[in-house]
Structure 1
Amino acid sequence: MLRIGLISDTHGLLRPEALSFLEGSDFIVHGGDIGNAAILETLARIAPLTVVRGNNDREAWADRIAETELVKFGGVRVYAIHDLAQIDIDPCADGVRVVVSGHSHKPKVEERDGVLYVNPGSAGPRRFRLPISVAELRIEGGAVSAHVVELAS
């Protein structure tokens, strides 16, 4: 079984609770609005890291980060993009099983047409009354599941 830790919208704040949750991940995907390069360095020490640039990642350190990434974990294709409204592929037609996004700060796990859409929510500064959260993706054989975890704040 593979455990992929999902995090998004850190906006420069990497909470200890988020780091604890991500420990033991086989891989980590960050859905953008990172905030600074130090966050990526810290996450990369935990597990191999895939990251996409968010709309607030505008400084020079973020220039090398792509807006989308397509990765394969255990034969399962995962597409990452910050803002789901800007998706530029047809996940079902392109054989993508999971789409990971961020941007809205609203955690959500939803399956549509055989594609699992996961937004881990925001792990950074609280926005409005939305929860502080992260998520995980579990892949075992061809089975894929995801769940969101609210962090104490």
Structure 2
Amino acid sequence: MKDKGTSINILLLSDTHGHIDKNILDHALEVDEIWHAGDIGNVEVIDSLKKIKPVRMVSGNIDDDKIKREVPKEQYFKKKGIHFFMIHIGGYAGHLPKKIREKIDSRPTDVLICGHSHLLRVGYDSEKLLCMNPGAAGNHGFHKIRTMLNFKIQNGKIKDLRVIELGKRGKLQTT
């Protein structure tokens, strides 16, 4: 398979909820592709990321109709020999909803990428299925630290996985 060859560097984020800042954009400059696992928040986030690198994303439960028309709810794709399934609400290793398990079992899937929980989690559901949730990069939610993931895909394997801490979540503004 010619797709397995050289490595590709990925920035994985989720739950921006309309927040994009210099810190996120600086990390985005260092990778080959940006993947967003939903709850984008507004079109400005999409536009900001697309100006920097190729973007792959799914919509989330807070995304409005404008985003949902532009961004699919879920994506299956193959990259460098690995089969990915990305969806915003997908559960986590050992706790996958029945509908998600059925989708995963219906086609080759090596990695499940999701967001929604605002909790960074990476782990194996089984010997084969790696579940990745980058936590939340935005300011809205109960998470204390804003996070993303960075990894490389090379020769059909995930390599050099690292957590990027973006600092403390900002305070919510009330009107």
Question: 3-state SS of the aligned residue for 1:102?
Answer: coil
Task: Indicate if the aligned counterparts of 1:15 and 1:124 stay in contact, CA closer than 8 A.
Answer: no
Amino acid at match of 1:91: I
Task: Indicate if the aligned counterparts of 2:119 and 2:143 stay in contact, CA closer than 8 A.
Answer: no
The one of 11, 22, 30 equivalent to 1:5 is 11
CA distance 1:93–1:125, change in 2 (3 Å): same
Amino acid at match of 2:150: E
Between structure 1 and structure 2, the one with the greater Rg is 2
Please name the residue that 2:172 is paired with.
Answer: none
> Where do residues 84-99 of structure 1 align in structure 2 (5 Å cutoff)?
84-85=90-91, 87=100, 89-91=102-104, 94-99=107-112
> Where do residues 2-151 of structure 1 align in structure 2 (5 Å cutoff)?
2-85=8-91, 87=100, 89-91=102-104, 94-113=107-126, 114-145=128-159, 146-151=161-166
Question: 3-state SS of the aligned residue for 1:19?
Answer: helix
Q: State the Cα distance separating 1:63 from its structure 2 match.
A: 2.1
Distance across 1 between alignment mates of 2:55 and 2:61 = 19
- Residues paired across the two proteins, number: 153
Distance across 2 between alignment mates of 1:2 and 1:66 = 23
Which runs of no fewer than 5 residues in structure 2 stay unpaired?
1-6, 92-98, 169-175
> Sequence identity, in percent?
30
> How big is the alpha-carbon RMSD for the aligned residues of Structure 1 and Structure 2?
1.9
Which runs of no fewer than 5 residues in structure 1 stay unpaired?
none
Instruction: Find runs of 4+ consecutive structure 1 residues off by over 4 angstroms.
Output: none
Higher mean alpha-carbon deviation, 75-84 vs 53-62, is at: 53-62
Q: State the Cα distance separating 1:88 from its structure 2 match.
A: 6.1
Question: 3-state SS of the aligned residue for 2:78?
Answer: strand
TM-score, normalising length: structure 1: 0.89
TM-score, normalising length: structure 2: 0.79
